[in-house]
């Protein structure tokens, strides 16, 4: 009490009539608490417990495990200023967080004294931590929502394009059949005309007949290619039929001589899916792999399981893809094959088919180092497959 009275004028000057929860006067040299005033309930201490006690009585018994924070002790007396978060030990080996303003001054007896003004900020810190946690969760939810929106927009665009392609196939199919039938009759008619009029027609030459046959052949090839494209597009109209599937047996029985099959954990590769739809997807991936190796192979089909998912990997050691090509590989009508050799619909339709199966297609590739096309299938898809793309249904 003598120290407080002797230094009351200086203390009053330092306090400047500011109210603080707790005010502690400390002998800096000895590290002893000389006086303690204010609301000490936050410390669970009585004034007489602190008066004359070492500063270390307010040091927490153990540091917090979840975050880095300054702990109460002589180190906070090294310089005056404000410490926003200081962990202070209370009775019963507990601790609370305080904001502490340290003001150093010389006592009347030549002592190095420090006046600590302590305010309990435990709840504010807890609320700030909770706000940061909630902000982090909101950020995560925003990113997830943004990604989901992107996937939804992509799915809508793909569905619209699928509907457009199905409509195009319907509108083109019948005229194409008529055109192919008509064109196929032209060579015979040309032959007959040249036999009848060839001797008297001044312009009749054997090379003209050859040109007609060549033009018809090219027209037939073009229309055949269009017909194949239409058949592929019409796969979108085939309903998905989920049923139990033993994937190990399925891939072994369908593998060709040029496809090397490797199955991991064959006893646990059972799932629910559409066997025919999955077969069509594998046909596309294996065809691409064989073309990448110029038909020489080998192509590996590897099946493995991981919890509630099963992975099918079609792997080749062919020419691979650049990153730009890989990013566009599933775009409709995109192909790196020579003109007339590819439709650019294989991977697009494969991806759309897998989406209806609740599965995903992932492609890893490096130019000159081969390609891995991975089908990630859920054991129990949380989708009913969705409605098949029906242009007729849409039109009516």
pLDDT, tens digit (0-9, with 9 covering 90-100), for 223-282: 777 777 777 766 666 677 888 988 888 888 877 666 777 766 556 788 888 888 888 888
Residue ranges in the chain modelled with pLDDT below 50: 200-202, 391, 394, 396
Among 168, 186, 185, which Cα is nearest to 226's?
A: 168
Q: 2-120 belongs to which homologous superfamily?
A: PAS domain (3.30.450.20)
Fold that domain 134-237 belongs to in CATH: Helix Hairpins (1.10.287)
CB burial readout 263-281, b (16+ within 10 A) else e: beeeeebebebbbebbebb
pTM of the model: 0.50
Helix ranges (H only) for 234-303 are 247-254, 275-292
Q: Give the pLDDT of residue 202.
A: 46
**DSSP per-residue codes, 168-211:** HHHHHHHHHHHHHHHHHHHHHHHHHHHHHHTTT-TT--HHHHHH
Contact 345, 232 (CB under 8 A): yes
> d(Cα 253, Cα 261) in Å, to the nearest integer?
10
Q: Give the pLDDT of residue 200.
A: 45
* Domain spanning 240-396: CATH 3.30.565.10: yes
Count Cα neighbours of 309 within 13 Å in the Cβ-side half-sphere. Answer: 11
Structure-token pair, residue 8 = 């009351």
Q: Where are the beta strands (DSSP E) in 218-258?
A: 243-246
Q: Give the pLDDT of residue 340.
A: 62
Contact 190, 212 (CB under 8 A): yes
Structure-token pair, residue 1 = 């009490």
Q: At what angle do helices 346-356 and 206-233 cross, to 10 degrees?
A: 20
Q: How many distinct helices (H) and strands (E) make up the chain? A: 10, 13
User: Between the CA of residue 98 and those of 201, 224, 267, 380, what are the distances in Å?
Assistant: 112, 82, 61, 53
| Sequence ranges of the domains in the chain | 2-120, 134-237, 240-396
Angle ∠(181,185,186) on CA atoms, nearest 5: 120
Q: Which long-range contacts (CB under 8 A, 24 or more apart) does 360-364 make?
A: 361/281, 361/330, 363/321, 363/326, 363/329, 363/330
Q: What is the dihedral of CA 15, 17, 23, 25, to 10 degrees?
A: 40
**Residue that is written with structure tokens 């009351």 in the block:** 8
Q: What is the dihedral of CA 206, 210, 211, 216, to 10 degrees?
A: 140
Name the helix (H) or strand (E) containing 12. helix 8-15
Q: What are phi and psi of 387, to 5 degrees?
A: -75, 140
Q: Give the pLDDT of residue 65.
A: 66
Q: Do domains 2-120 and 240-396 have the same CATH topology?
A: no
Contact 145, 151 (CB under 8 A): no
């Amino acid at each position: 009490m003598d120290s407080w009275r002797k230094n009351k004028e200086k203390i009053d000057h330092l306090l400047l009539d500011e109210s603080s929860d707790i005010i502690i006067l400390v002998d800096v040299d000895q590290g002893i608490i000389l006086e303690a005033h204010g609301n000490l309930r936050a410390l669970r201490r009585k004034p007489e417990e602190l008066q004359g006690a070492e500063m270390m009585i307010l040091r927490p018994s153990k540091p917090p495990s979840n975050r880095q924070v300054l702990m109460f002790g002589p180190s906070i007396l090294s310089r005056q200023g404000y410490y926003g978060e200081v962990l202070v030990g209370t009775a019963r080996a507990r601790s609370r967080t305080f904001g502490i303003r340290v003001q150093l001054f010389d006592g009347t007896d030549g002592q190095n004294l420090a006046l600590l003004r302590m305010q309990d900020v435990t709840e504010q810190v807890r609320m700030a931590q909770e706000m940061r946690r909630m902000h982090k969760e909101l950020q995560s939810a925003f990113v997830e929502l943004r990604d989901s929106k992107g996937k939804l927009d992509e799915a809508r665009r793909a569905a619209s394009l699928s509907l457009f392609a199905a409509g195009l196939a319907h509108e083109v199919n019948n005229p194409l059949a008529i055109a192919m039938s008509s064109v196929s009759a032209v060579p015979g008619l040309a032959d007959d005309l040249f036999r009848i009029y060839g001797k008297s027609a001044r312009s009749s030459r054997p090379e003209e007949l050859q040109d007609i046959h060549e033009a018809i052949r090219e027209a037939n090839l073009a229309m055949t290619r269009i017909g194949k494209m239409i058949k592929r597009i019409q796969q979108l109209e085939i309903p998905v039929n989920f049923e139990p599937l033993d994937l190990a047996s399925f891939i072994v029985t369908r593998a060709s001589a040029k496809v090397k099959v490797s199955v991991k954990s064959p006893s646990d590769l059972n799932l629910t899916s559409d066997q025919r739809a999955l077969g069509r997807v594998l046909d596309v991936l294996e065809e691409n792999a064989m073309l990448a190796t110029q038909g020489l192979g080998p192509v590996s089909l590897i099946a493995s399981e991981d919890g509630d998912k099963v992975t099918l990997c079609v792997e080749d050691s062919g020419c691979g893809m650049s990153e730009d090509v890989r990013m566009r590989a599933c775009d409709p009508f995109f192909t790196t094959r020579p003109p007339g050799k590819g439709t650019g619909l294989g991977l697009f339709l494969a991806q759309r088919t897998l989406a209806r199966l609740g599965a995903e297609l992932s492609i890893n590739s490096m130019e000159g180092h081969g390609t891995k096309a991975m089908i990630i299938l859920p054991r129990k898809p949380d989708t009913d497959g969705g409605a098949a793309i029906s242009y007729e249904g849409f039109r009516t």
